[in-house]
Every structure is written in C-alpha cells, then in structure tokens.
C-alpha cells in the first residue's frame, strides 16, 4: 500500500495583511505635547503665554480703570498668540536645529503623520495656555474695573482668545517646519507681524487689515469684522501649514 503525502503552502499570489506597529495619532499627539514642554525654552514660552496677559492687565490698571471687558481680553488674546508663535516654532524647527529630527523620522517615517501630530499638539497647548491667560486676565479686570463693568461680548472675546492661541501656535509650527531653523523662523515671523505689517498699515490700511493676524484677533474679540478676521487667521494657518508640509517632505534628513 502506498501513501501519498501532500503539503499545502500559501500561494505566492496570496496577500498578507501587514499590521501597523507604529504609534497611533493620539499617542503621537501626546508624545509631541510632552516634547514641547520637556525643554527650558518650551516651558518658558508656555509660562510667558499664560502670565504675560494678566501681568499686562495688572500694569495697565495702575493708569486706567477697565469699563468694557471684551476689549482688554482681545488685547490679551493677541499678546498671548504672539508668544505662542514661538512655542509652535520650537516644536518643529527645533527638531532640525538640534538634529533630533533624524530620530523622530526614524521612529515614524511618515512625515505627514508627524507634522499632523505636532500641529494638533501645539493647537491643544496653545488653546490651554490662552485659556489660562484669558481667565487670569478676566479676574484682574473684574478686580480693578469700575463698579458697572460692561460684560457684553465677553463670551465671544474669551472664545476668540482661546481660538487665536491655537491658531498662532499652529502658524508657528508651520513656519518652523518650512524654515527648519528656529532663529530664522522666529525672526521672520516677528519681523513680519510687528515690523512690516505696521508699515503696510501706514501705507494701505485696508490691505493691512487683511494681513494682520494680531489685529484680526483684537477685532474679532470685540465682535467687529468677524468674517474678515476669521478669514485672516484661517489664511495664516493654511498657508503656514501647507508650506511646512511641502518643504518638510522635500527636505533630506542628513
């Protein structure tokens, strides 16, 4: 009697499902949040963003009393946003400046996922620190303001300050990713917003109103030119993010 032994093997044409072993996006976001606050510069920017606004309100109270809440909160939102630009820049450009980008992209080769995680991380941090700043500033205003404070529009002002904090942080992250150089990104951003745009305002007010994110924050907080202000902030976020994404993908990691 003869016995025939047969063996079955998977055909070469069969598909094998590869299991993703990389970290999920929420995990990456949490990691990037911790990284942003793990060094002295990140913690310094975070502390400045949270405390600069209320400190400015306390100093301003020595010369004048506050009558309307929304106006000062809009100023605080703009001040805080300008600081949070630096937090965003450090989260992306800092990787290239300190050469840690090699390790980052080695662990997660998909650069788009890394940039998305960084953008979400700094947006959450920016919103959180802006909320702390606005809340403390509101307490200062309530403590030193006149007896019959005008609270009209306070809700919109607070929402604007928090949203602007997230937007400015993402703008900084996009510009940092585009330049891959921390000093260059910070210099170009602050020179443009605080140096060039005021000159544009003196030359063409209407054009400056469509370009200045700091003014858009203050105007939106006061309930004026809402559509234009939102468009200005959104435009900055989109342009900075797209520039960061394109240039990061085309840049070699040495």
pLDDT value for 200: 94
User: Distance from first CA to last CA of the chain, Å, rounded?
Assistant: 68
Number of H helices, E strands in the chain: 11, 0
pLDDT value for 12: 44
Q: Please tell me the distance from the alpha carbon of residue 203 to that of residue 24, in angstroms, as a whole number.
A: 49
Q: Please tell me the distance from the alpha carbon of residue 164 to that of residue 47, in angstroms, as a whole number.
A: 17
Q: Where are the domains of the chain?
A: 25-247
pLDDT value for 252: 81
Of 169, 175, 210, give the one whose Cα is nearest residue 191: 175
pLDDT per position in the chain (254 positions), as tens? 444 444 444 444 444 444 455 678 888 899 889 988 888 888 999 999 999 999 988 888 776 667 788 888 999 999 999 999 999 999 999 888 888 888 888 888 888 899 999 999 999 999 999 999 999 999 988 888 766 778 888 999 999 999 999 999 999 999 999 999 999 999 999 999 999 999 999 999 999 999 999 999 999 999 888 999 999 999 999 999 999 999 998 888 76
**Residues 85-139 pLDDT 10s:** 999 999 999 888 888 888 888 888 888 899 999 999 999 999 999 999 999 999 9
Q: Please tell me the distance from the alpha carbon of residue 162 to that of residue 122, in angstroms, as a whole number.
A: 13
Backbone Cα Rg of the chain = 24
Across-strand partners of 150? 68
Q: Which residues of 59-97 are buried (b: 16+ CB within 10 A; e: fewer)?
A: ebbeeeebebbbbbbbbbbbbbbbbbbbbbbbbbbbbbb
- Concatenate the DSSP letters of all residues of 69-93 into one string: SHHHHHHHHHHHHHHHHHHHHHHHH
pTM metric for this prediction: 0.88
């Amino acid at each position: 009697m003869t016995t025939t032994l047969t063996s079955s093997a998977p055909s070469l044409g069969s598909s094998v499902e590869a299991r993703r072993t990389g970290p999920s996006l929420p995990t990456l976001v949490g990691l990037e949040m911790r990284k942003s606050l793990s060094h002295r510069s990140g913690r310094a920017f975070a502390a400045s963003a949270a405390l600069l606004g209320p400190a400015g309100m306390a100093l301003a109270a020595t010369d004048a009393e506050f009558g309307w809440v929304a106006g000062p909160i809009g100023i605080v939102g703009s001040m805080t946003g300008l600081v949070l630009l630096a937090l965003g820049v450090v989260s992306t450009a800092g990787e290239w400046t300190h050469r840690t980008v090699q390790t980052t992209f080695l662990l997660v080769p998909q650069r788009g996922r890394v940039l998305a995680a960084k953008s979400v991380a700094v947006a959450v941090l920016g919103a959180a620190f802006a909320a702390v700043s606005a809340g403390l500033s509101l307490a200062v205003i309530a403590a030193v303001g006149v007896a019959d404070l005008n609270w009209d529009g306070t809700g919109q002002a607070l929402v604007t300050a928090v949203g602007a904090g997230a937007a400015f942080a993402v703008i900084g992250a996009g510009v940092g990713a585009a330049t891959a150089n921390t000093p260059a990104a910070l210099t170009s951003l602050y020179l443009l917003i605080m140096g060039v745009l005021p000159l544009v305002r003196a030359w063409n007010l209407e054009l400056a109103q469509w370009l200045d994110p700091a003014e858009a924050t203050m105007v939106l907080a006061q309930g004026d030119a809402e559509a234009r202000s939102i468009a200005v902030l959104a435009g900055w976020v989109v342009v900075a993010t797209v520039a960061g994404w394109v240039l990061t993908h085309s840049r070699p990691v040495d």
